[in-house]
């Protein structure tokens, strides 16, 4: 299926000297974000309707090969007119069914994947509970069960708004042509005409993030929205309530630079080495530096993934590199704590405690990986959750309070207890 992106307008409301669709959002121009979102949803054959400063847009995007997609263009020389005139320019370029999106909207691959599964010659992604937009400025929609009954900006009776995502068939083009001839050039005018004799189906996208970027205020709102969406379901308590609040502020600035997620992974690892080395000296100042560095590496460990998601730079290698260096970092930090405590106190027992702590730490990681391989889903502990963010936070507290022995004992107990609970849970799951 082909994707059709409308990008012809001059963006007068945002007052930009460059085409609005090329304005950066979290380090990625709006239309590039749209293209990569469609790609993530499986659409790689893309048509872009250009108009205002079309050469600038074409020169930036090219043929799409650098994004792993195929881009072709159609030009609307009358881009000052309403958007239905732009859609008509693609009539001979699209297949029987095509996906239509706006180049200045942000949305998630989840919405695209969802709407593509809906049957119908015209499917409109709607939001029955809009949270991020000015409803007064939106195109309103009245739905009844599985059918759209009315559409327009001036509706007084409505129960949803239009998100700017449409699954269409070519039978819409005669309707658009008729409306444009009658002077009705808004896309919503064509939909309104279409539903007089045909059925249009709503797809409720209210559970997903989307936003129409019309003004500079919208652009700031979109940035806040994207940064706020970076929390992952698998985040631990410390990540959710502390680390993400700091890491997203860092990522907000890093996305505007050329730094890559893998480079951030290496930086995080280097800080972990500083932590391990500091702990190994044993004195309080060194131990405190070690604790702070451990927490800093925990925070930066979130930034690499955030940058990857914001800039569509996720790779299997990046995920693998991050996991491997995390394990090395964990080993070196705990070893540094153990050695530093030993050179000050000369208590041989610390080596046994350190060994038990390392065993539990690695069992947490190993059991999670093996569970996913065996049961094809992530393991979720309901009782104890000693994820890496919590372990490093315990190390941080142990460092600044100079309580290395007790922090190692606590880690040894918690990690091995969770590992044991996982073995029991694995056993139960294998019988189901």
Q: What is the mean pLDDT of residues 68-77?
A: 96
Q: What is the mean pLDDT of residues 319-343?
A: 96
Domains of the chain with CATH codes: 2-225 (3.90.550.10), 231-431 (1.20.120.1760)
Amino acid 429: pLDDT: 64
Q: What is the mean pLDDT of residues 220-233?
A: 90
Per-residue pLDDT band at 381 (split at 50, 70, 90): low
Percent of residues, the chain, with pLDDT higher than 70: 95
Per-residue pLDDT band at 234 (split at 50, 70, 90): confident
- For strands 28-29 and 45-50, give the pairing: unpaired
- Per-residue tokens: 168: 């269409």
Rounded CA separation 356/359 (Å): 5
Given a contact cutoff of 8 angstroms between Cβ atoms, the answer to whether 51 and 76 are in contact is yes
**Residue 224 DSSP symbol:** H
Token pair 């930034």 is found at: 303
208-243 core/surface letters (b: 16 or more CB in 10 A; e: else): bbbbbbbbeebbeebbebbbeebbeeebbebbeebb
* Mean pLDDT for the chain overall: 92
Q: Is the pLDDT of residue 347 over 90?
A: yes
Amino acid 432: pLDDT: 59
Model confidence pLDDT, tens digit, residues 190-217:
999 999 999 999 999 998 899 999 888 9
Amino acid 379: pLDDT: 60
Amino acid 385: pLDDT: 75
Return the higher-pLDDT residue of 429 and 321: 321
Q: What's the CA dihedral at 284, 289, 292, 296 to 10 degrees?
A: -160
Q: Is the pLDDT of residue 378 over 90?
A: no
Backbone torsions φ then ψ of 230, nearest 5 degrees: -80, -15
Q: Is the pLDDT of residue 373 over 70?
A: no
């Amino acid at each position: 299926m082909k994707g059709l992106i409308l990008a012809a307008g001059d963006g007068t409301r945002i007052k930009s000297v460059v085409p609005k669709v090329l304005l950066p959002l979290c380090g990625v121009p709006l239309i590039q974000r749209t293209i990569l979102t469609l790609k993530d949803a499986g659409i790689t054959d893309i048509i872009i309707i250009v108009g205002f400063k079309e050469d600038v847009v074409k020169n930036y995007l090219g043929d799409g090969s650098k994004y792993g997609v195929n881009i072709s263009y159609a030009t609307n020389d009358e881009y000052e007119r309403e958007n239905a005139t732009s859609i008509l320019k693609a009539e001979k370029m699209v297949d029987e069914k095509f996906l239509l999106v706006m180049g200045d909207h942000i949305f998630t691959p989840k919405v695209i994947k969802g709407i593509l599964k809906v049957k119908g010659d015209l499917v409109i992604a709607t939001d029955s509970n809009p949270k991020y937009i000015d409803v007064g400025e939106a195109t309103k929609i009245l739905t009844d069960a599985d059918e759209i009954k009315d559409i327009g900006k001036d509706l007084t009776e409505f129960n949803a708004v239009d998100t700017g995502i449409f699954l269409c068939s070519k039978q819409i083009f005669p309707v658009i042509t008729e409306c444009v001839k009658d002077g009705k050039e808004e896309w919503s005018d064509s939909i309104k005409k279409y539903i007089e004799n045909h059925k249009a189906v709503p797809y409720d996208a209210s559970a997903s993030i989307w936003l129409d970027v019309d003004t500079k205020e919208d652009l700031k709102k979109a940035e806040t929205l994207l940064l706020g969406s970076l929390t992952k379901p698998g985040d631990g308590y410390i990540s959710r309530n502390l680390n993400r609040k700091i890491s997203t502020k860092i990522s907000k600035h890093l996305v505007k630079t050329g730094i890559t997620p893998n480079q951030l992974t290496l930086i995080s690892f280097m800080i972990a080495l500083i932590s391990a080395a500091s702990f190994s000296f044993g004195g309080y100042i060194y131990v405190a530096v070690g604790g702070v560095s451990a927490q800093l590496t925990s925070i930066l460990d979130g930034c690499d993934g955030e940058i990857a998601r914001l800039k569509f730079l996720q790779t299997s290698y990046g995920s693998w590199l991050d996991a491997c260096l995390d394990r090395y970092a964990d080993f070196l930090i705990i070893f540094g704590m153990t050695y530093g405590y030993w050179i000050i106190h000369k208590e041989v027992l610390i080596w046994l405690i350190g060994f038990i702590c390392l065993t539990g730490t690695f069992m947490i990681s190993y059991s999670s990986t093996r569970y996913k391989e065996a049961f094809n889903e992530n393991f979720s502990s309901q009782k104890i959750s000693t994820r890496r963010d919590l372990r490093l936070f315990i190390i941080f507290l142990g460092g600044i309070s100079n309580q290395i022995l007790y922090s190692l004992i606590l880690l040894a107990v918690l990690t091995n207890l969770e590992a044991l609970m996982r073995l029991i849970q694995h056993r139960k799951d294998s019988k189901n």
